[in-house]
Amino acid sequence: MSAALDVRDLHVGVGAVPAVQGVSFALARGRRMGLIGESGSGKTVTALAIMGLLPDGLHATGAAVYDGDDLLTLPEDRLCKLRGDRLAMIFQEPMTALNPVMRMGPQVAEPLRIHRGLSRGDADQEALRLLERVQIPDAAEKMRAYPHQLSGGQRQRAMIAMAIACSPDLLIADEPTTALDVTVQAQVLQLLDHLVEEEGATLLLITHDLPVVAQICDQVMVMYGGRIVEVGETEAVFSQPRHPYTRGLLDAIPPIDRDLPDRHLKAIAGSVPGLGEFPSGCPFRTRCPRADEACLEMPAMAGNGHPVACWHPVG
C-alpha cells in the first residue's frame, strides 16, 4: 500500500534557529498516526509545514510528498486547491481558527462552495448534514449562530465538520480535544475514529496527551527538541518504551487504578528548554538519567519496527 504522505528530512528554521530537524516519516493510507511531545517539541510546526501554513519568518526544507507532489514546493494556487479538499487540518483553538463574524452555516459550507462549486442552497443543506453528523445539538438552529454562541465542544465539532466537508484523504488534527471535558473528548475521539473507519482517510493526531493517542492511534511517533526520537505501534511504544523520554512521559502520568508509594510520581527533571536552547547532540541529554559522553553526538534512529534515537535505550 502506498503512503498517503511521505515526509523526508524535514527541517524548519526560525531564522537561524532550528525548530524541526530532519523529521522523516510515512503515513500509511487509512491508518491513524499519533505525534506526541510537549509544547516546544516542534509538533505543530511540523504540521504547519506540511500544510504550507508556516507563518512568515519560518522556512522549511526537505520534502512532504502527497500524491506525487512535494507539498513544500507546490505553488500556492495548487496548494489552495488541495487544502480544505484533499488535505484538511483541525486546529488547536477553535475560538481563533473560526471566523467570529461569520455564521456557522456559511462557514461550514465554505469549503464545499470553493472546492465543489455547490450552490448556496446545496452547500447549506450539506453543512446542516455535516453539523448533524458531528452531533451538534439543534444543528438547524446552530447554522445561524456565530462561533461565540457555541460552547467549546460545539466549536471544536464545527471545526471538524468543516475539515471533513470534502471528505479529505489526509486529516491533521492538532490537539483537537485539549480544551474539552472528558465526556466531550470521548465523543470527539470516537468521531475521528469513525471518519477514518468509514471514509478511509488517514489521520495524523498531534497531542501531548498520551492516553488520547492510546485510544485511537495505530502507531505513534514521539518528538522532542524538533526531532522524532521513537516510532512504533502504539501498544509497543506504551508497553515497552525504548527512549528514556517516552519512559519519563509514561511514568509522569498518575495511574488511574493503583496507589503510588507516598503519592509520588516519577518526574522528568527540569523543563523543556526554549527554542534554540536545546543542547547539542541528543536534545534530551540534559534531562536524561542515562546520558553520558556518547550523547554529545545525536544518535540515528535505529531498530526495526520500533526504532529509537538513543545511545542507551531502555529495556
Residues that bind another protein (CB under 8 A): 38-39, 152, 181-186, 189-190, 193-194, 197, 208-212, 214-216, 234-235, 238, 248-256, 259-268, 271-272, 287
Residue 292 phi/psi, 5° resolution? -145, -165
Nearer to another protein, 65 or 250 (CB): 250
Cβ at position 207, least distance to another protein in Å: 10
Nearer to another protein, 182 or 300 (CB): 182
Cβ at position 254, least distance to another protein in Å: 3
Cβ at position 192, least distance to another protein in Å: 9
Nearer to another protein, 146 or 238 (CB): 238
Nearer to another protein, 110 or 193 (CB): 193
Could you tell me which residues are beta bridge partners of residue 65? 6, 70
Cβ at position 5, least distance to another protein in Å: 22
Cβ at position 137, least distance to another protein in Å: 15
Nearer to another protein, 32 or 83 (CB): 32
Nearer to another protein, 1 or 256 (CB): 256
Could you tell me which residues are beta bridge partners of residue 97? none
Instruction: Please say whether the beta carbons of 192 and 176 come within 8 A.
Output: yes
State the helix-helix crossing angle for 104-115 and 120-133, rounded to 10 degrees: 120
Cβ at position 1, least distance to another protein in Å: 20
Cβ at position 308, least distance to another protein in Å: 18
Nearer to another protein, 57 or 254 (CB): 254
State the helix-helix crossing angle for 152-164 and 104-115, rounded to 10 degrees: 10
Could you tell me which residues are beta bridge partners of residue 23? 10
